[in-house]
């Protein structure tokens, strides 16, 4: 759980979308830790590649 929260915090500071944060939040509770971390890293890489200049505050 701690790793999941840290990953979510990293995603928020990277400016990824709320939908992606919600996905990470869901994975935190429903996936084994190792799988969740892999999903999180993949999501962050995809988000950064798709929109590297996204502002940090998007809500």
Return all residues near 5 (Cβ < 8 A) that are at least 6 apart.
28
pLDDT at 11: 46
> Mind listing the pLDDT tens digit of every residue in the chain (59 residues)?
444 455 455 444 455 566 555 555 555 555 566 666 777 777 777 776 665 555 665 55
pLDDT at 25: 56
pLDDT at 26: 53
Under a CB-based contact definition with an 8 Å cutoff, are residues 15 and 56 in contact?
A: yes
pTM exceeds 0.85, yes or no: no
Return all residues near 29 (Cβ < 8 A) that are at least 6 apart.
4
pLDDT at 43: 77
């Amino acid at each position: 759980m701690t790793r999941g929260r840290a990953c979510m915090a990293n995603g928020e500071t990277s400016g990824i979308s709320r939908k992606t944060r919600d996905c990470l939040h869901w994975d935190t509770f429903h996936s084994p830790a190792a799988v969740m971390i892999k999903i999180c890293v993949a999501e962050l890489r995809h988000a950064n590649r798709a929109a590297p200049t996204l502002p940090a505050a998007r809500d």
